[in-house]
Chain A
Amino acid sequence: MNNSVVNTARLLGAGLRALLVLTLVTGVIYPLVVTGIAQGLFPGKANGSEIRADGKVVGSSLIGQQGYSLDYFQPRPANGLGENSLNTQYRLLLSGATNLSADNDKLVKSVEAAKAKVVKDNSTADHRVEPSQVPADAVTSSGSGLDPDISPAYADLQVHRVAERNGLTDARVRKLVDEHTEGRTLGFVGEPRVNVLELNIALKDLVAKARP
C-alpha cells in the first residue's frame, strides 16, 4: 500500500516534470519563435492587415464593419454578434453566429425583413429591385459576424443606389465594383467576393475627386 502511494507520487512527479519541459518548448519557445518570424517577415499581416484612408487607420481589410450610411455599400447582416458580457472593462470586437436553425421562425422573419429592406433601400423611382434578385448572402448573417465580403451579385444590386446618392453614373460605380471584385483563388478555391471596406474607401476617393 505504502509502496503504491510512493510509486504513484513518483509517476505524477515525472508527469509534472514532462509537462513543464514540454510547456517550455511548445508554450513559450514555439509561440515566441513563430511571432519573431511573423513580425520579421510579414509585420503588416501579423498585426491584423490594417488598412488606411486619408492617412488614418480605418480598420482591417479582413474584418467587416457595420454602420455604413446608405451612401456606401452595405455589408452582410451580423445578427449573431453578442455583447461584451464577461469583461465589462473592455468594449471588445466580438465574433459569433446566430446559430438559428433553418426552421426557426425568428430566422425566417429576419431573412424576410432583411430582404424587404434590401429591396426598399435599393429601389428608386426609375429603378425597381425584385425580391428574386436579392442574393442569399445579403439577407443572412455570416459565421463570424465579421465577414468582410459580399458577393459580386449583392454589390451589383447596390450600384444604382450608390451611384445616385453620390451623383455618379451607374457605369462608373459598376467599374469600381469590378475593380474590387476578387475571383476564386486559382480559379476554383472559395467564392468570388467584394471587400466592402476597400470598396467604400475607393468610393469615397472617387466621390472626393468628382467634386472639386
Chain B
Amino acid sequence: MGPVLAGVLQLLALIAALALACIPLGNYMAKVYSSDKHWRVEKWVYKGIGANPDTEMTWSAYLRGVLAFSAVGVLFLYLLMRLQGVLPGSLGFSSVDPAQSFNTAVSFVTNTNWQSYYGEQTMGHVVQTAGLAVQNFVSAAVGMAVAVALVRGFARSRTGALGNFWSDLVRGTLRILVPAAAIAAIVLVACGVIQNFSGIHEVGQFMGGSQQWNGGAVASQEAIKEVGTNGGGYFNANSAHPFENPTPFTNLFEIFLILVIPFSLTRTFGVMVGSVRQGYAILATMFTIWLSFVALMMWTEFAHHGPAFQAAGGAYEGKEVRFGVGASSIFAVSTTLTSTGAVDSFHSSFTGLGGGITMLGMMLGEIAPGGVGSGLYGMLIMAVIAVFIAGLMVGRTPEYLGKKIGTREIKLAACYLLITPALVLVFTAVSMALPTPPHSMLNSGAHGFSEVLYAFTSASNNNGSAFAGLNANTDWFNTMTGLAMLLGRFLPMVFVLALAGSLAEQKPVPVTAGTLRTEKPLFTGLLVGAIVVITGLTYFPALALGPLAEGLAS
C-alpha cells in the first residue's frame, strides 16, 4: 500500500468515526443545555458561585457574565504566571515576564493558545494544571455557551430570555468537557502519553550521559487541549512531541477529538431549533469545506514542490515518520479549520501552497467545523449573510429559521464579519511598516511576510498555531497579538449575543411558498459560495504577497 492510499483510508476511517459519534453526542449536548434538572454537584457549584442557575438572562446580562468571567480569568492566570517563582510546584522555574504573562493569559482565556514561550522550559506543574489547563476547559465552555445562546435566539420567540450563563458554563464543563477529556486522557496514557508529577529528572542514554526530562500531567492536558479545540502544547513541539502524541493511532484519535464536538454541535443546533435537517445543512457546509481543504492539502504535500523538498525527495521537513505526510495533512487542516492550533507537524515547513491552505482555513473564520461553540456561531452568522444575499437576488425580505433578517440583524452580522479581517490586516500592515517587528522573521521574502500574516491571522481568529520561525517573544508581538486575541474573541461575541437577543424577541414568520428552504442542498451550495467569495475578496491581496507568491515561484 502506498502512502497516498493509506492517507485516504485514514481519512475515511476518521469520517466514519465522526459520523458514528455525531448524532448521539449532538443529542446529548442538546439535552444538557435544555434540561431543567441540576446535578447535585452542580447545585454545590452554584452555591459556591452565589448564582441562581434558573434565572433567565437577557442578551446583555448574558454578555456581562461572559465578560466578567473572562476578565477574572485573564487576571488570575496573569497573576499565577507572575508569581510562579514564589509558588510551590513551580519546578524552580522563575516568574514569567509581564508582556509574556499578559500574552499567555489572554491567549488561554480566549481559547487561542498562542504560545510565545517554550512549554518545557517555562511553566511548572501549578501553572500548567491549575492555570492553563483550567482555561482549556472553561474557555471552551464559554464558547459553547455563547453558541447555545444564539441557537436559543433562533429557537425562542417573543422573549428577551437567552438562558443562564452560569448554568451553561457549569454544565458545558461538568457534563460535556470533563467526562470527554477524562476518557480521552486514559486512552492517550494507554498509548504512551505521559501522566506523572515526577518533574525534572535525569534519564540515562544509550551512548552514555543522560537526558533531563520535564515530566508532568501531559495526558490530562493533551485531552482537553484537543477536545476543547484549544491547542496549547505542554511541550514546545506540541502534538509532534512523542510524549504528547506517541503513535499513529493517537494521532488519528487526536484529530477525532478536535473535530468531534464542533461537528456534533450542528446536531445539537438542529435538535434545539426543532428541525434536524437544518442542522444537517450546516453540517454539510462544514464538511464540504473541510474535505476539500484536506484533499488540496494532501495533493500539495504529496507533490512536495519547493527546492528543499525536491532535493530531499519528499515534504518531510517538520514531519514525524510515524505520522507520515497523509495524516500530517489531515491534522494541519483540521487544526486550522477549527480554533485549535495544535500541530503534529510544522506548518512553516509545509509547501508554499500547503502553508497558504492552513492560513486560508483560519481566514474563513474557523467555521468548518470551527472551534467548540465559536464554529457554530460563526457558521450561523454566515448563514444569515447567505440568506441576506439570496434575499437581495429575489427582492424579498430574508428570513432564516422563521426569523426575519432585518436591518438590525444584518448590521450585527456584518460587524461580526468585518472585525476579524480588520484586525488581521491592520496589525499585519502596521507590523510590516514599522522598522523593528520584521526583525523577528526567520525566513526572508514572501515566506517572511507569511510568518507575520500567519501570526495575526492565528491570533485574531483565536487559532494559536504559528509559522513558528517567527520570534514572537518580543514586547511588540506579545502585546499586539494579545490585543488581537482579545478583540478577535470578545467583539464577535458581543455581536453574536446582540443578534441572539434581537432574534429571540421576534415572533416567527410562517413558512410560505416564497421562503428560502435553508435545509436543502441548494442552500448549502449558496452558503459555501458565500463563504469562499467573502473570504477570498477580503484576503486575496494579502495571500498573494505571501503563500501564493511562494507557491507559484516553486
Give the segment of A91-99, A119-127, A158-166, A168-176 that binds chain B: A91-99
State in angstroms the CA–CA spacing of A150 and B170 once bound together: 46
Q: Give which listed residue, A56, A93, A112, contacts B213 with CB less than 8 A.
A: A93
Instruction: Using A98-B317, A98-B349 as known contacts, say yes or no to A63 and B243 having CB atoms under 8 A apart.
Output: yes
Cβ-closest chain B residue relative to A143? B240
Which residues on B sit within 8 Å (CB–CB) of A85? 121
Cβ-closest chain A residue relative to B467? A99
Q: Kindly supply a per-residue 1/0 record for chain B positions 409-448, scoring 1 wherever the CB is within 8 Å of any chain A CB and 0 otherwise.
A: 0000000000000000000000000000000001111110
Does the CB pair A39–B317 fall under 8 Å? Answer: no
Interface size, chain B (Cβ < 8 Å): 130
Question: Is B309 among interface residues, defined by CB-CB distance under 8 A?
Answer: yes
Question: Is B217 among interface residues, defined by CB-CB distance under 8 A?
Answer: yes
| B 518-554 contacts with A by CB, 8 A | 550, 553-554
| A 36-89 contacts with B by CB, 8 A | 37-39, 41-42, 45-50, 53, 56-60, 62-65, 67-69, 76, 80, 82, 84-87, 89
Does the CB pair B252–A189 fall under 8 Å? Answer: yes
State in angstroms the CA–CA spacing of A6 and B273 once bound together: 37
Cβ-closest chain A residue relative to B245? A144
Which residues on A sit within 8 Å (CB–CB) of B224? 26
Which residues on A sit within 8 Å (CB–CB) of B391? none
State in angstroms the CA–CA spacing of A92 and B243 once bound together: 14
State in angstroms the CA–CA spacing of A195 and B213 once bound together: 20
Question: Is A134 among interface residues, defined by CB-CB distance under 8 A?
Answer: yes
Does the CB pair A191–B3 fall under 8 Å? Answer: yes
Instruction: Using A15-B68, A103-B445 as known contacts, say yes or no to A97 and B349 having CB atoms under 8 A apart.
Output: yes
Q: Give which listed residue, B72, B215, B220, contacts A30 with CB less than 8 A.
A: B220
- Chain B's nearest CB lies how many Å from the CB of A94? 6
Question: Is A137 among interface residues, defined by CB-CB distance under 8 A?
Answer: yes
> Which of A59, A68, A187 has the most chain B CB within a 10 Å cutoff?
A59
Does the CB pair B321–A143 fall under 8 Å? Answer: no
Does the CB pair B214–A93 fall under 8 Å? Answer: yes
- Chain A's nearest CB lies how many Å from the CB of B33? 17
State in angstroms the CA–CA spacing of A95 and B224 once bound together: 21
- Chain B's nearest CB lies how many Å from the CB of A197? 6
Q: Kindly supply a per-residue 1/0 record for chain B positions 243-258, scoring 1 wherever the CB is within 8 Å of any chain A CB and 0 otherwise.
A: 1001111011000000
Does the CB pair A201–B206 fall under 8 Å? Answer: yes
Does the CB pair B182–A34 fall under 8 Å? Answer: yes
- Chain B's nearest CB lies how many Å from the CB of A5? 13
Which residues on A sit within 8 Å (CB–CB) of B72? 12, 15-16, 19
Which residues on A sit within 8 Å (CB–CB) of B249? 185, 189-190
Which residues on A sit within 8 Å (CB–CB) of B307? 102-103, 108
Question: Is A21 among interface residues, defined by CB-CB distance under 8 A?
Answer: yes
Instruction: Using A11-B68, A93-B212, A149-B321 as known contacts, say yes or no to A188 and B237 having CB atoms under 8 A apart.
Output: no
Q: Kindly supply a per-residue 1/0 record for chain B positions 209-225, scoring 1 wherever the CB is within 8 Å of any chain A CB and 0 otherwise.
A: 00111110101110110
State in angstroms the CA–CA spacing of A187 and B49 once bound together: 51
Question: Is B511 among interface residues, defined by CB-CB distance under 8 A?
Answer: no
Does the CB pair A94–B133 fall under 8 Å? Answer: no
Q: Give which listed residue, A17, A19, A33, A141, contacts B138 with CB less than 8 A.
A: A19
Q: Give which listed residue, A27, A89, A103, A149, contacts B129 with CB less than 8 A.
A: A27
- Chain A's nearest CB lies how many Å from the CB of B189? 4
Q: Give which listed residue, A26, A45, A59, A111, contacts B308 with CB less than 8 A.
A: A111
State in angstroms the CA–CA spacing of A172 and B107 once bound together: 54
Question: Is A101 among interface residues, defined by CB-CB distance under 8 A?
Answer: yes
Question: Is A107 among interface residues, defined by CB-CB distance under 8 A?
Answer: yes
Does the CB pair B169–A18 fall under 8 Å? Answer: yes
Does the CB pair A90–B212 fall under 8 Å? Answer: yes
Give the segment of B147-155, B192-200, B375-383, B488-496 that binds chain A: B192-200
Does the CB pair B219–A30 fall under 8 Å? Answer: no
Q: A93-B213, A142-B316, A189-B248 are in contact. List 15 more A-B contacts (CB 8 A).
A: A26-B178, A34-B219, A46-B195, A47-B194, A82-B118, A85-B121, A90-B200, A100-B349, A101-B550, A103-B554, A145-B237, A188-B1, A188-B5, A191-B3, A191-B324
Chain A residues within 8 Å of B, Cβ to Cβ: 8, 11-23, 25-28, 30-31, 33-35, 37-39, 41-42, 45-50, 53, 56-60, 62-65, 67-69, 76, 80, 82, 84-87, 89-104, 107-108, 111-112, 115, 132, 134-137, 139-151, 184-185, 187-191, 193, 197, 200-201
Sample 18 A-B pairs with CB under 8 A, ordered by A number: A23-B130, A28-B130, A48-B194, A62-B243, A95-B120, A96-B236, A102-B307, A102-B554, A103-B446, A108-B307, A136-B314, A140-B312, A143-B345, A189-B249, A190-B10, A190-B252, A191-B3, A193-B321
The 8 closest A-B pairs by CB, nearest first: A190-B248, A102-B306, A136-B314, A143-B240, A95-B237, A191-B324, A99-B469, A27-B130
Chain B residues within 8 Å of A, Cβ to Cβ: 1, 3, 5-6, 9-10, 13, 45, 48-51, 64-65, 68-73, 76, 92-94, 117-118, 120-122, 129-131, 133-134, 137-138, 166, 169-170, 173-174, 177-178, 181-182, 185-186, 189-198, 200, 203-207, 211-215, 217, 219-221, 223-224, 235-237, 240-243, 246-249, 251-252, 304-309, 311-324, 327, 343-346, 348-352, 355, 442-447, 467-469, 550, 553-554
